[in-house]
Amino acid sequence: MVTRTGGAGSGIIISFLSYGGGAGQTAAVANIAWILAAAGQKVLVVDSRAEAPALHRYFAPFGRPLVIRDRPADRGDPLSATVRLDCDPPSPEGRVDYLGPALPEPAPGIRGESPRFDWAVWSRRLPELRRRLMAAGYDYVLVDGPAGGGDAAVATAAQLSDSVVLCLSMTPGVILGSGALARRMLSRRFEVRILPVPMGVDDRDPQGLRRARLLARERFAAITTGGPAVLGQIEVPYLPEFSHDEKLAVLVGGSQAAPLVRAYELMTRAITDDRVRTANSPSDVLRERYIRALDHAFPTLPRAVSIVYAPRDRVWADWCRGLLGEHGVPTEMVSVMPARTLPAVEGGRHLLLISPGRLIGLNRTHVDEPPGAQPGGGAQVSRTFAVLIDDTEPPEWAASIDRIDLREVKEEQAEELLRKRLGLTPFQEFGPSQGTRFPGGVRRGGTAEVGAARLPFPPRYAGFVGRDGFLEEMRDNLAPTTLAQGPYYLRGAEGVGKSQLVLEYVYRFASDYDIIWWIPGGSRNDIRKGLADLAVTLQIPSRGDGAKAMLKALDVEPARWLLVYDNVGDIAHLDGLLPSSRAGHVIVTLTSTDPESPGEQVPPFEREESVALLRRVVPALDPAGAATVARAVHDVPLAVELAGAWIGEDARWRRYRNIGEGEAAALAVTRFREELAREDGASSRDDSSDIRAIVRMALNVLKFRRLSAGVIWMLQLITFLNPAHISLRLLRSWPVLDELARFGEGLDDPLMIDAVLAKAECYGLIEVRWGKDPAVHTNALIQRLIREEMTEEETRVRQAQALRVLAAHAYPRFDPTDDAHKAVFEELWNHLRPSGALTSTDTRVCDWILNQLRYLYNTSRGSRLEAGREIGAEAMAVWTRHAETRELVPDLQVLMANLQRALNRWDEAHALDLGALETLRSRHGLRSARTLAANRGYAADLRALGRFDMAAAEELSILLVSRYLFGDDHEQTLAAANNCALSAYLAGNVHEALDLEQQTYARRVRLWGADSYWARWSGCNVGVYLRELGRYEDAEEWLRSVRENVGGIGGATLDVARLRLDRSLAATYRRLGRKLGDPAKLDQARTLHSATLEGHRALFGADYSSTLACTAGYAWTLHAVGAHTAAVEYGTLAYEGLSRTANPFAMVAAANLAVFRRAVGDKAAARDLGGEALEHLAERLGDLHPYTLAATVNHAGTLAVLGDHTGALRLDRGAWEGYVARFGRDSPYAAIAMANYADSRRLSLGEPGAGRHVRSDIDIEVLWF
Whole-angstrom Cα distance, residue 1236 to residue 1195? Answer: 12
**So what's the pLDDT on residue 6?**
55
CATH of 1045-1245 among 3.30.2080.10, 1.10.510.10, 3.30.2010.10, 1.25.40.10: 1.25.40.10
Please enumerate in sequence order all residues whose Cβ is within 8 A of that of 410, keeping only pairs 6 or more positions apart, or say none: 111, 440, 442, 443, 444, 446
Q: How does strand 350-354 pair with strand 95-99? A: unpaired
DSSP conformation letters of 808-819: HHS-SS--TT-H
pLDDT in tens, 526-557: 898 889 888 878 877 665 577 888 888 888 77
The more confidently predicted of residues 425 and 468 is 468
Phi, psi (rounded to 5 degrees) for 832: -60, -50
Kindly report the number of other CB atoms within 10 A of residue 50's CB atom.
Answer: 18
Q: Which of 560-564, 843-847, 1056-1060 has the highest mean pLDDT?
A: 843-847
Compute CA 1077 distance to the chain's CA centroid, rounded to the nearest angstrom. Answer: 39
Arch. (CATH architecture) of 703-809: Orthogonal Bundle (1.10)
Of the listed ranges 408-417, 1032-1041, 1171-1180, 1198-1207, the one predicted with least confidence: 408-417
pLDDT in tens, 5-21: 555 567 899 999 888 77
| Matching fold, domains 961-1044 and 1045-1245 | yes
Of the listed ranges 91-105, 622-636, 1229-1243, the one predicted with least confidence: 91-105
Please enumerate in sequence order all residues whose Cβ is within 8 A of that of 813, keeping only pairs 6 or more positions apart, or say none: 851, 854
Please enumerate in sequence order all residues whose Cβ is within 8 A of that of 341, keeping only pairs 6 or more positions apart, or say none: none
Instruction: Name the fold adopted by 305-446.
Output: Rossmann fold (3.40.50)
Per-residue pLDDT band for 1196 (boundaries 50, 70, 90) equals very high
Arch. (CATH architecture) of 12-46+119-293: 3-Layer(aba) Sandwich (3.40)
Per-residue pLDDT band for 107 (boundaries 50, 70, 90) equals very low
What is the 3 state secondary structure string of 1106-1155?
HHHHHHHHHHHHHHHCCCHHHHHHHHHHHHHHHHHCCCCCHHHHHHHHHH
In the predicted structure, residue 161 carries a pLDDT above the cut 80 = yes
Please enumerate in sequence order all residues whose Cβ is within 8 A of that of 230, keeping only pairs 6 or more positions apart, or say none: 195, 196, 197, 224, 270
The more confidently predicted of residues 452 and 180 is 180
Nearest to 251, CA basis, from 59, 83, 115:
59
Instruction: Name the fold adopted by 817-945.
Output: 1.25.40
Q: Sign of the CA dihedral 830, 835, 839, 843?
A: negative
pLDDT in tens, 365-406: 444 555 554 444 444 457 888 899 888 888 877 777 888 888
**So what's the pLDDT on residue 428?**
34
Give percent of the chain with pLDDT exceeding 90: 38
pLDDT in tens, 1229-1248: 888 899 989 888 888 887 76
Residue ranges per structural domain of the chain: 12-46+119-293, 305-446, 449-467+479-519+555-600, 607-685, 703-809, 817-945, 961-1044, 1045-1245
Whole-angstrom Cα distance, residue 1154 to residue 1162? Answer: 9
Whole-angstrom Cα distance, residue 390 to residue 393? Answer: 9
Contact 692, 785 (CB under 8 A): yes
Whole-angstrom Cα distance, residue 840 to residue 388? Answer: 59
Give percent of the chain with pLDDT exceeding 70: 87
Contact 469, 337 (CB under 8 A): yes
Per-residue pLDDT band for 85 (boundaries 50, 70, 90) equals confident
The more confidently predicted of residues 362 and 1057 is 1057
Whole-angstrom Cα distance, residue 369 to residue 356? Answer: 10
Whole-angstrom Cα distance, residue 677 to residue 616? Answer: 24
Number of H helices, E strands in the chain: 48, 21
Phi, psi (rounded to 5 degrees) for 286: -65, -45
**So what's the pLDDT on residue 581?**
80
Of the listed ranges 7-11, 253-257, 421-425, 862-866, the one predicted with least confidence: 7-11
Please enumerate in sequence order all residues whose Cβ is within 8 A of that of 714, keeping only pairs 6 or more positions apart, or say none: 731, 736, 740, 756, 757, 760
Residues in a beta bridge with 69: none
Nearest to 1020, CA basis, from 1040, 999, 1049, 995:
1040
Kindly report the number of other CB atoms within 10 A of residue 1217's CB atom.
Answer: 17
**So what's the pLDDT on residue 280?**
86
Phi, psi (rounded to 5 degrees) for 169: -80, 135
AA letter at 793: E
Phi, psi (rounded to 5 degrees) for 471: -65, -35
pLDDT in tens, 996-1020: 999 999 999 999 998 888 898 899 9
In the predicted structure, residue 849 carries a pLDDT above the cut 90 = yes
Nearest to 318, CA basis, from 553, 480, 158:
480
The predicted model gives 424-428 an average pLDDT of: 51
Whole-angstrom Cα distance, residue 214 to residue 339? Answer: 75
Of the listed ranges 95-109, 560-574, 724-738, the one predicted with least confidence: 95-109
Contact 250, 31 (CB under 8 A): yes
**So what's the pLDDT on residue 347?**
59
State pTM to two decimals: 0.69
Whole-angstrom Cα distance, residue 417 to residue 1012? Answer: 52
AA letter at 80: S
Rg from Cα positions in the chain: 36
Per-residue pLDDT band for 339 (boundaries 50, 70, 90) equals low
Per-residue pLDDT band for 1048 (boundaries 50, 70, 90) equals very low
Q: What share of the chain is helix, strand, coil (3-state, %, to 5)?
A: 55, 10, 35
Contact 332, 307 (CB under 8 A): yes
Q: Sign of the CA dihedral 857, 858, 861, 864?
A: negative
pLDDT in tens, 1136-1161: 988 886 677 889 999 999 999 999 99
In the predicted structure, residue 470 carries a pLDDT above the cut 60 = yes
In the predicted structure, residue 1214 carries a pLDDT above the cut 80 = yes
Domain 961-1044: what homologous superfamily? Tetratricopeptide repeat domain (1.25.40.10)
Look over the chain and give the mean of its residue pLDDT values, rounded to a whole number.
Answer: 84
**So what's the pLDDT on residue 970?**
94
**So what's the pLDDT on residue 895?**
95
**So what's the pLDDT on residue 747?**
84
Residues in a beta bridge with 13: 141
pLDDT in tens, 892-927: 999 999 999 888 888 899 999 999 999 999 998 888
Kindly report the number of other CB atoms within 10 A of residue 576's CB atom.
Answer: 12
In the sheet that 83-85 helps form, which strands lie side by side, from edge to edge? Answer: 66-67, 83-85, 95-99, 42-47, 140-144, 12-18, 163-169, 193-199
Kindly report the number of other CB atoms within 10 A of residue 978's CB atom.
Answer: 22
DSSP conformation letters of 781-834: HHHHHHHHTS-HHHHHHHHHHHHHHHHHHS-SS--TT-HHHHHHHHHHHHHTTT
